[in-house]
């Protein structure tokens, strides 16, 4: 019977061509949607590489006050660190976890080889403590780095692998082709996914920036603080800190949010296009399903005489239904096969730099969805075909 | 119920315990009625039909259009159920048979020939002839091919196996339909106006073929026809009018 179905489909290749094309396109749309959903879910399952619980973010705005900004800010840091309930305080660049800011560069080179596009973070010695970052090789910044000739940096594994392969990055010196600046890698962290819960583990580099010597806060800089507080701290401590900032700095303003709030905000922003895309995908699937349903229904109405004939020749209702389902599954297989040829190019060519596992899962998901879709769409028309009375359909012809 | 046993015994009078007679009844219809009912109209297609067709007979059924000939043929061919009455094939009533059992009976024992041939245009002549054997799991692909070739040989179309129905004349198409009926090696052929769409020469060819099958291969044939000339060639003519048998 399988051979018979193949013969039928081959001999009806012209009428089946559009159906196969529709299935191929559906597969591809489902594949793209699946890639996005799978890659986001895949990222979501990965460790973030840092702790955001009990970490508050405070933007300090000196306004027009230009009087010894650096000194005032250092005093503020000291006061905040001494506040009961505060565990650690760090000053960092604007691209804090879950923020909407980026600071990426591809300026790093190692022995003439250019590094990947890398997210760069300014970090002082306290950042690791505040965010719970763990150096898996080497160490985090400390006083030993004061006065270092080369800027000490810590990189994540993604950065290290793309530039050094399996070699340890610690002790290696990064250069820049445009300026004489050099960076010494002192440590390696495993993962740092600060963009959002759905962000990929992109290459990251932490450059030591401590306010000492010539390094001062800029005249227009609104410093950003990350403050780790004791678990259970709430609005009372928040008010205390805001008041303390105003008192110590004599009028600087500050706002306070938590990284968890930022995380939820970012999650909403990230989920919105994903949900929209999923809805568009769902809409497409419904359209494809209605299309398939209509085509199959039409096919059956056109083939009533054939169904009657087959019943007369000994086919049972179930074998008629099985034949129609079988034909649909063979047509689906041909469409999916075409789609697979296209889809496997993505992991083979390493498109978008996604893990091949993501593509393979997406292919499996899209294949399953297409088969389920066609089987569901073919089921009812096939049952109708099975119920056609042979005497009636033969007479109608 | 053991379907295989039922099939194998159905056309064997000895197995059913009936004494072997010179011309045993292959089909016996008792008080058959067929009523088509809609919300407003009730149409009586067959009215208390009693009919016996013996094994090896060539019977033609005649009557004006709408008198119930094709309905009767559908009931004999197990394609339709009577509203009341009993259909017996080789002494066994088939009214209580399941869909699967009826399909098995049609496949094993009955061959159909239709006025409009009912060939599948997207299948070659050979594939069309193979169709009834597709529904027999016991027949291998190779045997299917062999039997289809043999059936086409019988109707003189062995040179046209790879042609498609659209490439054949009406007479050739009807011969393919007869070959398809023969491929299953049936004991009964039901032909619904087999020459109705053919010119007189081709009609004669088809009639000769059916007569040959009946006389030399012992196939029982029930043929519906409008053609008095063709009907006279058969052993018995049954006439219908307004759903009732008149002779």
**What are the structural domains of chain B?**
3-245 (3.40.50.300)
Report CB contact under 8 Å: B135, A11: no
With CA atoms as reference, the chain B residue closest to A5 would be B123
A397 at B interface, C-beta within 8 A? yes
Give A311's contacts in chain B (Cβ within 8 Å): 79, 103, 106
Given a cut of 80, whether residue A395 has pLDDT beyond it is no
Secondary element (H or E) of residue B69: helix B69-76
Given a cut of 80, whether residue B12 has pLDDT beyond it is no
Written as one string, the DSSP assignment of A3-24 is HHHHHHHHHTHHHHHHHHHHHH
Interfacial A residues in 88-147 facing B (CB < 8 Å): none
- Position B7 scores a pLDDT of 37
Comparing CB atoms, the residue among A1, A308, A312 nearest residue B134 is A1
Sign of CA dihedral A12, A16, A18, A20: negative
Residues B147-179 have pLDDT tens digits of 999 889 888 888 888 999 999 988 888 889 888
Banded model confidence at residue A292, pLDDT cuts 50, 70, 90: confident
Comparing CB atoms, the residue among A4, A12, A313 nearest residue B106 is A313
What's the mean per-residue pLDDT of chain A? 88
What value does the mean pLDDT take over residues B203-212? 85
A394 at B interface, C-beta within 8 A? yes
Report CB contact under 8 Å: B70, A3: no
Given a cut of 70, whether residue B20 has pLDDT beyond it is no
Banded model confidence at residue A65, pLDDT cuts 50, 70, 90: low
Give B71's contacts in chain A (Cβ within 8 Å): 391
- Position A397 scores a pLDDT of 56
**Which segments of chain A does DSSP mark as H helices, in order?**
2-11, 13-45, 69-81, 127-131, 157-164, 235-249, 259-302, 304-312, 317-343, 345-349, 356-387, 390-396
Banded model confidence at residue B3, pLDDT cuts 50, 70, 90: very low
Comparing CB atoms, the residue among B70, B122, B135 nearest residue A313 is B135
What value does the mean pLDDT take over residues A262-286? 88
Report CB contact under 8 Å: A4, B127: yes
B86: tokens are: 């009993």
Of all residues in chain A, the percent with pLDDT exceeding 90 is 38
How many other C-beta atoms can be found within 10 angstroms of the C-beta atom of residue B118?
23
d(CA A8, CA B213): 31
**Least Cα separation, residue A47 to chain B (angstroms):** 57
- Position B16 scores a pLDDT of 44
Banded model confidence at residue A136, pLDDT cuts 50, 70, 90: very high
What A277-282 contacts at long range (C-beta under 8 Å, 24+ apart), as own/partner pairs, is A277/A33, A277/A36, A278/A33, A278/A37, A281/A29, A281/A30, A281/A33
Interface test with B, best of A313, A395, A396 (most B CBs within 10 A): A313
Residues B124-152 have pLDDT tens digits of 999 999 999 998 888 888 999 999 998 89
Give B80's contacts in chain A (Cβ within 8 Å): 389-391
Of all residues in chain A, the percent with pLDDT exceeding 70 is 98
Ranking A16-20, A35-39, A220-224, B105-109 by mean pLDDT, the lowest is: A220-224
Question: CB-based contacts of B173: which residues, under 8 Å, 6+ apart?
Answer: B117, B119, B165
Banded model confidence at residue A15, pLDDT cuts 50, 70, 90: confident
CA angle A261, A265, A267 (to 5 degrees): 115
Residues A158-188 have pLDDT tens digits of 999 999 999 999 999 999 888 888 999 999 9
**Least Cα separation, residue B147 to chain A (angstroms):** 15
CA A314 to chain centroid: 56
DSSP 8-class letter at A111: T
> What's the complex ipTM?
0.83
Residue B14 Cα distances to B4, B9, B10, B24, B88, angstroms? 17, 8, 10, 11, 16
Ranking A125-139, A352-366, B85-99, B103-117 by mean pLDDT, the lowest is: B85-99
Of all residues in chain B, the percent with pLDDT exceeding 90 is 22
With CA atoms as reference, the chain B residue closest to A9 would be B122
Report CB contact under 8 Å: B79, A394: yes
Interface test with A, best of B37, B43, B122 (most A CBs within 10 A): B122
**Least Cα separation, residue A384 to chain B (angstroms):** 15
Give B114's contacts in chain A (Cβ within 8 Å): 394
Given a cut of 90, whether residue A154 has pLDDT beyond it is yes
Q: Residue A155's beta-bridge partner residues?
A: A188, A205
Report CB contact under 8 Å: A397, B127: no
| Whether this model's pTM surpasses 0.95 | no
Q: What is the dihedral of CA A362, A364, A367, A371, to 10 degrees?
A: -130
Give A314's contacts in chain B (Cβ within 8 Å): 103-104, 106-108, 132, 135-136, 184
Given a cut of 50, whether residue A256 has pLDDT beyond it is yes
With CA atoms as reference, the chain A residue closest to B183 would be A313
Q: Where are the domains of chain A?
A: 2-46+266-396, 55-259
Contact by Cβ (8 Å): A210, A146? yes
Secondary element (H or E) of residue A58: strand A55-61
Residues A325-380 have pLDDT tens digits of 888 889 999 999 999 999 999 888 878 878 888 899 999 999 999 999 888 888 88
Question: CB-based contacts of A366: which residues, under 8 Å, 6+ apart?
Answer: A27, A30, A31, A33, A34, A339, A343
A243 at B interface, C-beta within 8 A? no
Report CB contact under 8 Å: B107, A314: yes
A314 at B interface, C-beta within 8 A? yes
**Least Cα separation, residue A310 to chain B (angstroms):** 8
Contact by Cβ (8 Å): B194, B163? no
Give B116's contacts in chain A (Cβ within 8 Å): 397
Given a cut of 60, whether residue B237 has pLDDT beyond it is yes
Interface test with B, best of A314, A318, A327, A397 (most B CBs within 10 A): A314
What value does the mean pLDDT take over residues B189-206? 83
Report CB contact under 8 Å: B127, A7: yes
Report CB contact under 8 Å: A311, B136: no
Banded model confidence at residue A388, pLDDT cuts 50, 70, 90: confident
Residues A304-338 have pLDDT tens digits of 888 888 988 989 888 888 888 888 889 999 999 99
Banded model confidence at residue A127, pLDDT cuts 50, 70, 90: very high
Banded model confidence at residue A396, pLDDT cuts 50, 70, 90: low
Given a cut of 80, whether residue B42 has pLDDT beyond it is yes
């Amino acid at each position: 019977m399988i051979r018979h179905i193949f013969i039928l489909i081959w001999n009806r290749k012209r009428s089946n061509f559009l159906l196969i094309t529709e299935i191929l396109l559906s597969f591809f749309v489902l594949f793209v949607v699946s890639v996005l959903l799978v890659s986001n879910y895949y990222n979501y399952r990965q460790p973030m590489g840092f702790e955001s619980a009990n970490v508050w973010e405070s933007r300090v705005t000196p306004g027009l006050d230009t009087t010894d900004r650096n000194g005032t800010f250092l005093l503020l840091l000291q006061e905040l660190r001494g506040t009961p309930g505060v565990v650690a305080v760090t000053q960092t660049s604007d691209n804090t976890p879950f923020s909407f800011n980026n600071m990426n560069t591809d300026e790093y080179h190692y022995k003439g080889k250019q590094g990947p596009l890398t997210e760069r973070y300014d970090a002082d010695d306290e950042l690791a403590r505040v965010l719970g970052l763990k150096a898996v090789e080497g160490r985090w910044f400390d006083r030993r780095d004061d006065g270092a000739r080369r800027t000490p940096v810590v990189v994540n594994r993604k950065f290290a692998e793309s530039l050094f392969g399996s070699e340890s990055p610690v002790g290696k010196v990064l250069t820049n082709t445009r300026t004489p600046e050099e960076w010494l890698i002192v440590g390696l962290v495993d993962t740092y996914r600060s963009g959002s819960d759905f962000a990929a583990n992109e290459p990251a580099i932490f450059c030591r920036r401590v306010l000492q010597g010539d390094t001062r806060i800029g005249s227009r800089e609104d410093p950003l603080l990350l403050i780790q507080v004791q678990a259970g701290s709430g609005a009372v401590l928040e008010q205390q800190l805001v008041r303390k900032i105003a008192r110590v700095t004599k009028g600087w303003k500050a706002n306070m949010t938590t990284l968890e709030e930022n995380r939820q905000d970012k999650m909403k922003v990230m989920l919105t296009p994903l949900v929209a895309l999923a809805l568009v995908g769902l809409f497409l699937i419904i359209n494809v399903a209605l299309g398939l349903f209509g085509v199959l229904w039409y096919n059956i109405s056109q083939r009533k005489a054939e169904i009657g004939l087959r019943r007369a020749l000994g086919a049972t209702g179930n074998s008629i239904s099985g034949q129609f389902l079988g034909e649909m599954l063979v047509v689906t297989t041909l469409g999916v096969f075409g789609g697979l040829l296209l889809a496997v190019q993505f992991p083979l060519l390493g498109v978008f730099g996604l893990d091949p596992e993501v593509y393979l899962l997406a292919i499996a998901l899209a294949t399953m969805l297409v088969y389920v879709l066609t089987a569901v769409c073919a089921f009812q028309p096939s049952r109708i075909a099975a119920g056609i009375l042979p005497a009636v359909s033969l007479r109608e012809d | 119920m053991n379907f295989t046993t039922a099939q194998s015994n159905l056309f064997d009078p000895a197995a059913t315990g009936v004494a072997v007679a010179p011309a045993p009844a292959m089909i016996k219809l008792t008080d058959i009625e067929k009523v088509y009912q809609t919300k407003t109209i009730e149409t009586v297609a067959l009215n208390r039909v009693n009919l016996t067709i013996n094994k090896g007979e060539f019977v033609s059924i005649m009557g004006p259009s709408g008198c119930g000939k094709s309905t009767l043929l559908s009931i004999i061919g197990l394609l339709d159920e009577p509203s009341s009455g009993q259909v017996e094939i080789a002494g066994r009533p088939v009214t209580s048979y399941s869909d699967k059992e009826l399909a098995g009976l049609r496949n094993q024992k009955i061959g159909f020939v239709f006025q409009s041939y009912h060939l599948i245009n997207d299948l070659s002549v050979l594939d069309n002839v193979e169709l009834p054997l597709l529904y027999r799991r016991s027949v291998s692909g190779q045997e299917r091919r062999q039997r289809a070739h043999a059936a086409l040989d019988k109707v003189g179309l062995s040179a046209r196996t790879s042609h498609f129905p659209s490439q054949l004349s009406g007479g050739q198409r009807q011969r393919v339909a007869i070959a398809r009926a023969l491929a299953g090696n049936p004991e009964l052929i039901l032909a619904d106006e087999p020459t109705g769409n053919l010119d007189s020469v081709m009609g004669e060819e088809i009639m000769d073929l059916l007569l040959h099958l009946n006389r030399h291969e012992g196939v029982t044939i029930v043929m519906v026809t409008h053609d008095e000339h063709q009907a006279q060639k058969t052993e018995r003519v049954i006439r219908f009018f307004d759903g009732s048998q008149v002779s």
